[in-house]
Amino acid sequence: MNGVMAAGAVLTLLAGIGVFLTACGMLSSNLETLGSSKLRDLFASASKSKLLGVGIGALGTAAIQSSGAVTVIIIGFVNAGIMTLTQAATVIYGANIGTTITGQIVAWGISGGGGLSSTVIFSALAGVGAFIVSFASSDKAKTIGGILCGFGMLFVGLSTMSGAMESFAELDSVRNFLASINNVLLLVLIGAVLTAIIQSSSVMTSVAITMVVAGLITLDQGIYLTMGSNIGSCVVSVIAGMTGSANAKRASYIHLIFNVAGVIIFLAIGQALKLATHGSVSFGTIFGDLFPGMPQVQLAMFHTVFNVVAVILILPLTSALVALVTKMVADDEKTTSTTTTFYLDDNFLESPPIAIQQVKSEIMGMAGIAMRNFESAINMVKSADYSDRPTFDANEEELNYLNREIARFASKLFGEQLSAGDRDYLSHALKSISDLERVGDYSKHIVEYGEDLLENGDSFSDTARGEIDQLGDMVETLFGQAMRAYEHEDELEVVNAGVTELAISDQVAEMSASHARRISEGKCSPDAGANYLALVSDVERVGAHFYNLAKTVRGL
C-alpha cells in the first residue's frame, strides 16, 4: 500500500511541477510581450548608477516573473554592445532580488485562514484567463488573459504539489529519510542540481515551501535547499552566454560567481551562528521567531533577505568582479570572414525585447557599411583611383548577406509572441534592409560609371568632380540625420532629413542644368556627360533610401 501511495505522490508532484513550470513560462512570456518596449527602455537606463541598475533588475524581474528571462536579455544587451559588463552586473544583482517575488506570492497566497481558501480564489483566475484568451478579439486582451491564466495556474500547480507533499508526509520512510539529511552542503547541492534540471529557481523554492508547510523538512533544511536553487538557476544564463561574445560569456560568469559567493557568505554566517550559540540559533529559529506560525512566509522572507544582503555585500566589489571575469575569458578572436552578422543570435528569439534590439543594432551596422561604400564610391570616382575596389566589393557582399540574414531572423521572430509595436517595427525593418541593400547597388553603379570612363580614356571635368564632391557631402549630412532619427526615434531629425533630401533634389536639378551648359560649350564629352547624369541621379536615389530609413520612425 505504501508503494502505491508513494508512486501516486510522485506522479502528483510531477504533475504539479509541470503545471507550475508551464504557468511560469506563460506568465513570463505574456508579461514580456505586454511590456517589451518599456522593458527595453527600462534596461537601457541602467547606466545611470549602480543602485539604479539593481533597482531596474529587481523591478524588471518582478514585472515579468522570470530572472532567467531577464538575465538572458541582459546577456543579449552585452552581446550587442549596448550595455557594459558593470551595468549588466548590477542589473543581474537586482534580478536575484526580483525573482524572490514568486516565492512571496506563493507564500502569502497560501497563508489565508478559515473560509474560502485564497489558493482556490487565485487558482480560479486560470479559468478566467483561459476564457479571455479563447474569446477576446484583440491581441492585447489575449495577452492579459494569458497573464491571468498563468497567474492562476501557479496556484493550481502549487495546490497539486501541496497535495503530493501531504501524501509524502504520511509515509514514515520518506519523513525519516528527509530528516536524516542534515549536512548543509548536501542540501545546497541537492537544491542546485534540482534547479538546474528544471531550470527554475521559482519552482524549486515553491517545492521547498510546500515541503516545509507539510512538515516533510524543517525550515533550516528548506533554507539551504533554497540557497542551492540560487546556484542552479545560473544554468540558464551560462547556456545563453556560451553562444555569445566574450563579454556575453563574462556576463554569465558574473551571474554564477555572484550567486555562488552569496551562498558561501551565508554558509559561513550560518556556521558562525551555530558555533557561537552551541547550535541553539540558526536561520530557521531567527525567521521562525520573526514570522511565528507561518512557515511558508518564513522561507520566502529568508529568500528575499538572503538576496538583498548578498547584493549589499557584493555591490561595492563589482569592479573587481568585472576585472576577474575579464581575465577568465579571453577576448574574441578577429574573424577573417567578410560575411557575418554582428548582433543576431537565434538563441535570443524566445526573448523578443532583446531580439528586436539585435535587429535594430544589426540594421544600424548595415547602414554604416552602406554609407562607407557610398563614400568609397565617391572618392574613387573623384580621384580615378580604384585600388580600394576589393574592400568595396567585400562590403557589397556583406550588405547582400546582411539583407538575407536579417530577413531570415525577422521571419523567425514573427513566429514568437510579439507586441503590436514590435510587429510594426519588424515590418518596417524588412523595408529598411531593402533600402540599405539598394544603397549598396547604387554605390556599385557609381563606381562602374567612373571605371567606364577610365577604360575609355575619358574623365569628369574639375567642375563636375567638385559638384559630385559637394553632393556627396550633402548625402553624408542626410545620413547622420537619418541615423540619429532611427536610433533615438527623433521626429525632429526626421524633419531635418526631409529638408536635406529636398536640398539634394534641388542640387541635382542645378547640376543637371550646369552639365547641359558644359555640353553646349564643348567642355564635356558625350560619354562623360551620360555617365555624369546617371551618377548624380543614383546619388539622389541613395539620399532617398537613407531618408526612407529615417521615415520609419513615423510608422512606429
Read off the pLDDT of residues 266-280 as tens digits, 9 standing for 90 and up: 999 999 998 998 888
Cβ proximity of 89 and 258 under 8 Å: yes
Mean pLDDT calculated for residue range 94-118:
69
Q: How many helices, marked H, and strands, marked E, lie in the chain?
A: 23, 0
C-alpha–C-alpha distance, residues 55 and 52, integer Å: 5
Q: Give pLDDT, residue 503.
A: 95
Cα distance between the two ends of the chain: 64
Cβ proximity of 381 and 449 under 8 Å: yes
C-alpha–C-alpha distance, residues 521 and 525, integer Å: 10
Residue-wise pLDDT for 399-412, tens only, equals 999 999 999 999 99
Residue 137: pLDDT above 50? yes
Nearest of 396, 356, 352 to residue 374 by alpha carbon: 396
Mean pLDDT calculated for residue range 242-265:
86
Grid coordinates given for 220: 533550516
Residue 164: pLDDT above 70? yes
User: What's the Cα-to-Cα distance from 402 to each of 80, 90, 492, rounded to whole Å?
Assistant: 16, 33, 29
Nearest of 509, 439, 444, 449 to residue 478 by alpha carbon: 439
Residue 488: which residues within 8 A CB-CB, separation 6 or more? none
Mean pLDDT calculated for residue range 461-488:
91
Domain architecture of the chain: domains with CATH: 2-328 (no CATH), 346-555 (1.20.58.220)
Residue 36: pLDDT above 60? no
Q: Which of 92-96, 231-235, 258-262, 519-523 has the lowest mean pLDDT?
A: 519-523
Amino acid letter, residue 100: T
Q: Give pLDDT, residue 435.
A: 95
CA angle 310, 312, 315 (to 5 degrees): 95
Taking all residues of the chain, what is their mean pLDDT, rounded to a whole number?
Answer: 82
Mean pLDDT calculated for residue range 55-80:
72
* DSSP tag of 351: S
* DSSP tag of 1: -
Q: Give pLDDT, residue 116.
A: 43
Residue 175: pLDDT above 60? yes
Amino acid letter, residue 46: A
Residue 336: pLDDT above 50? no
Residue 380: which residues within 8 A CB-CB, separation 6 or more? 386, 388, 389, 392, 447, 450
Grid coordinates given for 354: 532583446
Q: Give pLDDT, residue 260.
A: 94
> pLDDT exceeding 70 applies to what percent of the chain?
85
The larger pLDDT score, comparing residue 363 to residue 333, is at 363
The larger pLDDT score, comparing residue 463 to residue 263, is at 263
Mean pLDDT calculated for residue range 141-147:
83
C-alpha–C-alpha distance, residues 400 and 398, integer Å: 5
* DSSP secondary structure letters along 255-308: HHHHHHHHHHHHHHHHHHHHHHTTTS--HHHHHHHHSTT-HHHHHHHHHHHHHH
Residue 513: pLDDT above 90? no
Confidence class of residue 375 from pLDDT cuts 50, 70 and 90? very high
The larger pLDDT score, comparing residue 66 to residue 501, is at 501
Q: Give pLDDT, residue 60.
A: 73
Grid coordinates given for 426: 519588424
Q: Give pLDDT, residue 494.
A: 93
Sign of CA dihedral 538, 542, 545, 550: negative
The larger pLDDT score, comparing residue 528 to residue 87, is at 87
The larger pLDDT score, comparing residue 544 to residue 237, is at 544
The larger pLDDT score, comparing residue 188 to residue 6, is at 188
C-alpha–C-alpha distance, residues 51 and 242, integer Å: 28
Q: Give pLDDT, residue 371.
A: 95
Residue 359: pLDDT above 50? yes
